[in-house]
Structure 1
Amino acid sequence: MVLQCCLNGARPAGAYPAVPMSPRHLARDARAVSALGVHSVHVHPRDRDGRESLDPPTVGAVTHAIRAAAPRTEIGVTTARWVEPDPLTRIDIIGQWGRLPAHARPDVASVNVHERGWQRVCAALVAAGIGVELGVWTCGDAVQLRQAGLPPGTIRVLAEVTVTDPEIALIEAMRILDALGPLPAPILLHGEDAGAWPVLAHAQRLNLDTRIGFEDTLEGPERARRATSNEQLVRYALDKAATPQRADRSVRSRRGAAHRH
């Protein structure tokens, strides 16, 4: 089972001081989680003003910094529509990524299946020598992907549960997995915010790849306080993997609390 760390995501600059934004801070967190055995990180590069950017120098600077700090770590970035709405512009930018030096070129990039032009974006990544992570957010996305088939270069499929209610998130996770069915690529299942830890525990019970980090949640598994670092979130996830019965109890307790209220 792969545990990926999503270091920052689309959270706005200043949302929480512990969320890394600069190349130096992203590299610091990547080094810390790599030391715990995490060999894949997902990042949203930022420009000097803290805005998400697909600009090749920005992506290259972040990738280079992480590569130097954690040389055996897979580095993934986003191609999300909200960063660059025009798919043709995204495709052109990705072509420029392919001309970055190897140490500054991402290993993989995520592509959301619900976004217009996703198949052409995938083809551009493959042409640039970059692997593809396919983001599936809904059962409809899953059906669309099954009908289209996995494009060449697919490294994994990200089953992304965007429902944040803990109980409903678990149900949605099962629905998306059922809609995906068996695939010729690994599935990485994860949730977000209040749904992050229940979905992670479910992925661990199914022995699926999963992820944790400040993109998905700012809080520890009991949601009593915010985590101090990505490293702390990874330690919580590894602890859950080592003691799955604890994860089961945590999910049951939340279910009981939900019914009482």
Structure 2
Amino acid sequence: MGFVLQACLNGAREPGSHPSVPITPQQLAADAAHCAEAGVTSFHLHPRDVVGLEVLAGPEVATAVSVVRVAVPRAEIGVTTGAWIVPDPVRRAELVRGWAGLAAGRPDFASVNVHEDGWLDVAAALRDAGVGIELGVFHERAARALADVGVPEGAVRVLAEVRPGEGPEEAGRLVDLLAPLGLPILLHGEDDSAWPVLDHAVARGLDTRIGLEDTLTTRDGTPAVGNAQLVAQAQAQVW
């Protein structure tokens, strides 16, 4: 696969946190279709239940993924396994392992945050379910821990995240620690670090992402209309 510009459509944003943040499968699908028109072929989303809460349960995951897949049939679709959704690591791994039977609703990949309790078990559950693994690395301590443990089977990329208040300098140190692992690195920021880190990723030839999960503002700091606008601005920088 060549360079990846991924669209992260909603993340943990609460309903109402932005007028355009997509919550329902139909809203996610509509946003994905608009972003695909700009050339995006990779999507990261957080499935929700009927009241808008994030879930890892198979039926809701399958519904979100399958509806989005109809809208963007040639794209890869990923989801989260965030520990804040199901704090019990044993139960979290059980739910993820159950994704094996989701058929058209099974995601292509899922992010696993290396700093979270039970992440290795969740990664193994994803492997058993036939779902690719994005290794979420939020700081240098997690990068070193991953290097010590080694890359789990089934990993497709490292999802390197630079936290708010940090910037290209921190991004550079994180990437330097992760590069020896030999996996593709998707580097992105969050909130005020989103655009500077995206530019740093592009300058280094790394995969990156943008969307309402990562920022609610455009490059010039004005409120974003929605995911498609953010993707269009990122696309102008990338291509």
Same fold at TM > 0.5: yes
Please tell me the residue identity of whatever aligns with 1:8. Answer: N
The match for 1:40 among 39, 42, 55 is: 42
Count of aligned positions: 237
The match for 1:198 among 196, 199, 207 is: 196
The match for 1:23 among 9, 22, 25 is: 25
Aligned to 2:233: 236
Once residues 203 and 184 of structure 1 are traced to their aligned partners in structure 2, the CA distance between those partners, rounded to angstroms, is 17
Aligned to 1:12: 14
Once residues 143 and 92 of structure 1 are traced to their aligned partners in structure 2, the CA distance between those partners, rounded to angstroms, is 27
Residue segments in structure 1 that go unaligned for 5+ positions in a row: 243-261
Residue by residue over 1:29-83, the C-alpha shift from the partner in whole angstroms, topping out at 9 and shown as x without a partner, is 1111112111110001111111111111110100010010000111100000000
Once residues 222 and 194 of structure 1 are traced to their aligned partners in structure 2, the CA distance between those partners, rounded to angstroms, is 11
Once residues 181 and 41 of structure 1 are traced to their aligned partners in structure 2, the CA distance between those partners, rounded to angstroms, is 23
Q: How many Å apart are 1:170 and its aligned residue?
A: 1.6
Q: Residue 140 in 1 paired to residue 141 in 2?
A: yes
Once residues 241 and 132 of structure 1 are traced to their aligned partners in structure 2, the CA distance between those partners, rounded to angstroms, is 25
The match for 1:222 among 213, 220, 223 is: 220
Please tell me the residue identity of whatever aligns with 1:235. Answer: A
Q: How many Å apart are 1:15 and its aligned residue?
A: 0.6
SS of the equivalent of 1:145 reads helix
Q: Please give the residue correspondences for 1:62-211 in structure 2 after superposition, counting only pairs within 5 Å.
A: 62-101=64-103, 103-162=104-163, 164-165=164-165, 168-211=166-209
Once residues 170 and 213 of structure 2 are traced to their aligned partners in structure 1, the CA distance between those partners, rounded to angstroms, is 19
Question: Which is further off, 199-208 or 178-187?
Answer: 178-187
Please tell me the residue identity of whatever aligns with 2:144. Answer: V
SS of the equivalent of 2:169 reads helix
Once residues 23 and 138 of structure 2 are traced to their aligned partners in structure 1, the CA distance between those partners, rounded to angstroms, is 25
Once residues 179 and 100 of structure 2 are traced to their aligned partners in structure 1, the CA distance between those partners, rounded to angstroms, is 33
Once residues 177 and 69 of structure 2 are traced to their aligned partners in structure 1, the CA distance between those partners, rounded to angstroms, is 36
Q: How many Å apart are 1:178 and its aligned residue?
A: 2.0
Q: How many Å apart are 1:122 and its aligned residue?
A: 0.5
Q: Under a length normalisation based on structure 2, what TM-score does the superposition of the two structures give?
A: 0.97
SS of the equivalent of 1:158 reads strand
Please tell me the residue identity of whatever aligns with 2:80. Answer: T
Q: Please give the residue correspondences for 1:246-261 in structure 2 after superposition, counting only pairs within 5 Å.
A: none
Q: Under a length normalisation based on structure 1, what TM-score does the superposition of the two structures give?
A: 0.89
Residue by residue over 1:128-167, the C-alpha shift from the partner in whole angstroms, topping out at 9 and shown as x without a partner, is 01000000000000011111111010010011111x23xx
Once residues 66 and 110 of structure 2 are traced to their aligned partners in structure 1, the CA distance between those partners, rounded to angstroms, is 15
Please tell me the residue identity of whatever aligns with 2:38. Answer: L
Once residues 157 and 51 of structure 2 are traced to their aligned partners in structure 1, the CA distance between those partners, rounded to angstroms, is 32
SS of the equivalent of 2:110 reads strand
Please tell me the residue identity of whatever aligns with 2:194. Answer: A
Aligned-residue CA RMSD in angstroms? 0.9
Please tell me the residue identity of whatever aligns with 2:34. Answer: A
Aligned to 1:252: none
SS of the equivalent of 2:136 reads strand
Please tell me the residue identity of whatever aligns with 1:210. Answer: T
Please tell me the residue identity of whatever aligns with 2:177. Answer: A
Please tell me the residue identity of whatever aligns with 1:212. Answer: I
Question: Which is further off, 3-12 or 32-41?
Answer: 32-41
